[in-house]
Amino acid sequence: MQSLLQYRRLGREAQQQLQAVGQGRPNAANRRSRLSDGAQSLNNLDEKADAEDAEKESDATLSPSSLSPAISPPPVDDIEKTIGSSHADLLSLSEKEDPKKWTYAYKWTVTGIVGSAGFVVAWASAVDSEVAPQIVEQFGVGQEVALLGTTLFMVTFGLGSLISAPFSEVVGRNPVYLISLVIFGLFTMGAGLATDIETYLVCRSFAGFFGCPPLTNFGGTTADLWTPTERTYVFPVLACLSFLGPFLAPMVADFVGPSPLVSWQWTEWLTLIFTGALVTGIFFFVPETYAPVIQSWKARQLRKISGDDSYMTDKEKDSPPFGTRLLRSVYVPIKFLFTEPITDLFALYLIILYIILFGFLPGFQFIFGEEGIYGFDQNHTGLCFIPMNVGFLLAFIPIFPIYRRFKIKMREEEARGKDKVVPEERLLQAMIAGPCLPISLFWLGWTSWPSVSFWSPLIASVLFGFSVMGIFISCYQYIIDSYETMAASALVGMTLLRYCASGPMVIVSLPMYTNLGVHWTLTLLGCLSALMAPVPFIFYFGVGAWARKKSKNATSFE
């Protein structure tokens, strides 16, 4: 609805601009013909003037100063340049239509709604993991097969990231949100209605595939609306929503699963209700935010009103066919993974992060569950995810001093004639949070004993949530600032790897916790995270600038 109203506004604006400059132009070919005819008429007038001057020369000698310069028409190419400049003025967006110039309150409204898309699909990724006992009972399968719904969702989620970017660049952000969320909702409904395990797993797989575009798309929407300085505090809000989703979901699912009042399928119905509310909010309140698409809409309106086919944006002139762009969207992220050490290293960091994170979905059963160390029932085990979510929220605390520092750095760069700050400034939060991750895992692993209060591992979970969120925010923003125009390809490759790697971890963690035990499993994960903790420090103190300079795709900050 908002996109349709936006399109109509652009039409009215185009009509007013054309009327203001008096343009009722025919098509470009006729206009060039008229210019040529006008030039020929001027040449004829010039020839007639020369003949009259020649007659006068027989009677008198004219001084050089009395000679009038020959009247010559401006070259057609110069006229076309002037017309091109006029076209650029007409194609430019007004403040009302330029997403970066919308009011602060309206930008936050749009950001909050689309950020909720990240919450909903991330919620869906984990909500089924905590009703595995009920799935086992209904379909008569093992726990590993029951958890396969979560694994397949996450793997196909990663694969979906390969095609989400080109669609949003061709048709805009809004159609991608609406279409993918509607299909996602239909497959979620299918999973809830499934009468056998095969149908359930197929529906969960397709739900994951169509759930990815809304989550990856909101990063593009953030870039559409906010400046790099503003993204210092805006991006963490959206990241927090996408982390709260999968770790609030288990808490709710652990109450739904054993409830005598509702069936476990209510985990799917809740997801479907959230999706329906989100689609409604986007349809009625969120306009298109991708500026090149908005400009192409205006160009279409100008062509329709004026009959002049030369009104085209640079994107329309130079953009390759959609099929080519789709193939490129698959090829380039994979190429990044083989040719960009920066992307590889931070992708590895996030893979370890997600392996640990999603390994906790079944892992908390071994620590807090009925057959685990503390013997909580299913309801109370779900409540044990609350401290982790508190940690996610506490990760906002360092953002405020980091934002102030970033603004100071930006003013310093502007004083030197530059318009951006080196990406390494984005690593400050990872330098704070990185060492906290292994500490939290060792703390959680070696204080989880029946003789030690359960409050100790719960408090360790707060520190764990704080560290995970800080590392994610920092690494993502570092990649965005390092690659800028190529950041989408870098992030798609990282998304593909971390979801395809962490999805199977939901199943793999079962034998790990069973065979190694809680203490040694968390010790192993803590050692892996300790190996990666120095990465932000190494990049901040010199290696980052050197690596970006050697990269063929990184943005130059010299």
Tokens of 538: 């190494």
Residue 479 near residue 494 (C-beta atoms within 8 A): yes
Residue 478 near residue 467 (C-beta atoms within 8 A): no
Residue 359 near residue 525 (C-beta atoms within 8 A): yes
Query: With b meaning 16 or more CB within 10 Å and e meaning fewer, what string describes 55-94?
Result: eeeeeeeeeeeeeeeeeebeeeeebbeebeeebeebbebe
pLDDT at site 214:
80
Tokens of 64: 């050089």
What's the DSSP call for residue 340?
Answer: -
What residues contact residue 495 under an 8 Å CB cut-off, 6+ apart? 158, 161, 212, 216
What is the phi-psi region of residue 23: left when phi exceeds 0, alpha when psi lies from -120 to 50, beta otherwise? Answer: beta
Q: Report the C-alpha dihedral over residues 428, 433, 434, 437, rounded to 10 degrees.
A: 180
pLDDT in tens, the chain (558 residues): 767 777 677 777 777 777 776 654 444 444 444 444 444 544 554 455 455 554 544 444 434 333 344 444 445 444 444 444 456 667 677 767 788 888 999 999 999 998 898 899 999 988 998 898 899 999 999 988 999 999 999 999 988 887 776 677 777 888 889 999 999 999 999 999 999 999 999 999 999 999 988 877 777 788 888 888 888 888 888 888 888 888 888 889 888 988 888 999 999 999 999 999 999 999 999 988 888 888 888 888 788 887 777 777 766 677 777 777 777 777 888 888 888 888 889 989 999 998 888 888 888 889 998 888 999 988 888 889 999 999 999 999 998 899 899 989 989 988 888 878 889 999 999 999 999 999 999 999 999 999 999 999 999 999 999 999 999 999 988 988 888 767 777 888 888 888 888 888 888 888 888 898 999 999 999 999 999 999 999 999 988 889 888 888 888 766
d(CA 267, CA 251) in angstroms, rounded, equals 11
**How many angstroms separate the Cα of 202 from the Cα of each of 82, 151, 378?**
58, 12, 27
d(CA 513, CA 500) in angstroms, rounded, equals 21
d(CA 381, CA 378) in angstroms, rounded, equals 5
Question: What pTM did the predictor assign?
Answer: 0.81
What residues contact residue 273 under an 8 Å CB cut-off, 6+ apart? none
pLDDT at site 448:
92
Between vectors from CA 131 to CA 129 and to CA 136, what angle results, nearest 5°? 100
Q: Residue holding tokens 């600032």?
A: 481
Domains 101-288 and 320-558 share a fold: yes
DSSP string across 348-416: HHHHHHHHHHHHHHHHHHHHHSTTSSS---HHHHHHTTHHHHHHHHHTTTTHHHHHHHHHHHHHHHHHT
d(CA 208, CA 310) in angstroms, rounded, equals 42
Q: Name the strand (E) or helix (H) holding 71.
A: none
Write down the domain spans for the chain. 101-288, 320-558
DSSP string across 412-451: HHHHTT-----GGGGGHHHHHHTTHHHHHHHHHHHS-STT
Tokens of 172: 């805009």
CATH number belonging to the domain at 320-558, selected among 1.20.1250, 2.40.30, 1.25.40, 1.10.3210: 1.20.1250
CATH number belonging to the domain at 101-288, selected among 3.40.50.300, 3.90.550.10, 1.20.1250.20, 1.10.10.10: 1.20.1250.20
Tokens of 368: 């807090």
